[in-house]
Amino acid sequence: MCCNENIKERIAGSVQQSSLDLSEISGMKFFDPHVHMTSRTTDDYQAMADAGVVALIEPAFWLGQPRTGVDSFTDYYSSLIGWERFRSSQFGIKHYCTIGLNSREANNEKLAEQVMEILPHFIFKEGVVGIGEIGFDDQTPAEEKYFRLQLELAKEAGLPVQIHTPHRDKKNGTTRSMDIALEQGLDPYSIIIDHNNEETVKEVLDRGFWAAFTIYPFTKMGNERMVEIVKQYGSERIMINSAADWGISDPLAVPKSAALMKRSGISLADIELVTYRNAITAFAQSGQIDEKDFEQLQPVDQAQKFASNSILRGGQQPRIDKNSIIIS
Ligand SMILES: [Zn+2]
């Protein structure tokens, strides 16, 4: 009984969500500063481009199951600065990434040591806008050790840091993450604290950090809660992301939230800050973001290839769109 009710509620929720009219935000540009495109489809890329997402950041994370060797990390980081960036470009979306050892896999210390050795080979590559996502999962001593080492690396490299806060014991984990960052001598203005909620936002903003919010369907922050947060705290140092990955998540979370905010009477200036401008300001501290790259609609040529691979499959015709008004 309870479960049927639950399903009904969920279906009602999804109908409500799909009725959100994205034409309300047509012409607006969005920057999704946390989305794991490696686990998404080309349909998602197309839908994001259609909804106005012009640029995104893909943080390095785990893959749903533990890696067994350092070569898997090498290949994954290489794909974030290579194939995935190319794939994104095929939909006219500028792709950036952050590179780091995620908290879960920091607990395999033997492997973590090897990953620390390869990180410097990746963090200075084109399109890498920070160290991330790093921080705590279970808040173990090993997680703390590699969190501190990577904060040190970020400080030396002069890169922003994208911090994943734990889902369990979030409030303490968030406070502790900020304490450690300050202990390591980092400037809070270079640090984006992610996955905030109503319990953590005030402290994060009061201490001078950036506060990022992940909009997840059915869990954590829904975008109605997000609207209330922007009403209460304003738009300074706040940003919204989808954190879409291989789980139930929504790669259109940023434009949908913008539409909901607009409908809720939040000013266009504030919407622009939390769905676009603040992410650029925070991550441009890397020196890697040139807004000119996505200010205007990027020409798309899907006949292009990356290492002799294209996104086209047998017999498909490439979508070549050089900003032409003629659709053929
Ligand atoms: Zn993530």
Q: Tell me: the pLDDT tens digits for 28-67?
A: 999 999 999 999 999 999 999 999 999 999 999 999 899 9
In the prediction, which pLDDT does 296 show?
A: 72
Measured between alpha carbons, how far is 59 from 195 in angstroms, rounded to an integer?
A: 13
In the prediction, which pLDDT does 305 show?
A: 84
292: CA distance to ligand 1 center in Å?
26
243: CA distance to ligand 1 center in Å?
5
Is the pLDDT assigned to residue 4 strictly greater than 50? no
The percentage of the chain sitting over the pLDDT mark of 70, rounded to a whole number, equals 88
pLDDT confidence bin for 216, thresholds 50/70/90: confident
The mean of the pLDDT values for the chain is: 90
184: CA distance to ligand 1 center in Å?
23
In the prediction, which pLDDT does 22 show?
A: 82
77: CA distance to ligand 1 center in Å?
14
In the prediction, which pLDDT does 157 show?
A: 98
274: CA distance to ligand 1 center in Å?
18
- Residues within 5 A (CB) of ion ligand 1: 61, 243
User: Hey, CA dihedral for 83, 249, 122, 92, is it positive or negative?
Assistant: positive
Is the pLDDT assigned to residue 7 strictly greater than 50? no
- Which of 40, 37, 5, 50 is closest to 256 using CA atoms? 50
Least confident range of 15-24, 213-222, 282-291? 15-24
The answer to whether 136 touches 166, Cβ cutoff 8 Å, is yes
Q: Tell me: the pLDDT tens digits for 30-41?
A: 999 999 999 999
The tokens describing 262, both together, are 């607009």
The tokens describing 149, both together, are 């080492």
214: CA distance to ligand 1 center in Å?
9
249: CA distance to ligand 1 center in Å?
11
66: CA distance to ligand 1 center in Å?
15
Average of per-residue pLDDT across 73-84: 98
Q: Tell me: the pLDDT tens digits for 133-192?
A: 999 999 999 999 999 999 999 999 999 999 999 999 999 999 999 999 999 999 999 999
Is the pLDDT assigned to residue 5 strictly greater than 90? no
pLDDT confidence bin for 321, thresholds 50/70/90: low
* Structural domains of the chain in order of their starting residue, each with its CATH number: 27-291 (3.20.20.140)
The percentage of the chain sitting over the pLDDT mark of 90, rounded to a whole number, equals 77
264: CA distance to ligand 1 center in Å?
28
321: CA distance to ligand 1 center in Å?
31
In the prediction, which pLDDT does 219 show?
A: 62
Is the pLDDT assigned to residue 12 strictly greater than 60? no
In the prediction, which pLDDT does 180 show?
A: 98
90: CA distance to ligand 1 center in Å?
23
In the prediction, which pLDDT does 306 show?
A: 82
In the prediction, which pLDDT does 287 show?
A: 97
Average of per-residue pLDDT across 70-97: 97
In the prediction, which pLDDT does 105 show?
A: 97
pLDDT confidence bin for 217, thresholds 50/70/90: confident
Q: Tell me: the pLDDT tens digits for 225-245?
A: 999 999 999 999 999 999 999
Average of per-residue pLDDT across 121-144: 97
User: Hey, CA dihedral for 238, 291, 251, 167, is it positive or negative?
Assistant: negative
DSSP at 296 = S
133: CA distance to ligand 1 center in Å?
7
132: CA distance to ligand 1 center in Å?
9
- Which of 188, 174, 124, 114 is closest to 149 using CA atoms? 114
What pairs with residue 58 in β-bridges?
97
Q: Which residues lie closer than 8 Å to 169 by C-beta, 6 or more apart?
A: 139
58: CA distance to ligand 1 center in Å?
8
pLDDT confidence bin for 16, thresholds 50/70/90: very low
163: CA distance to ligand 1 center in Å?
10
18: CA distance to ligand 1 center in Å?
24
283: CA distance to ligand 1 center in Å?
16
40: CA distance to ligand 1 center in Å?
13
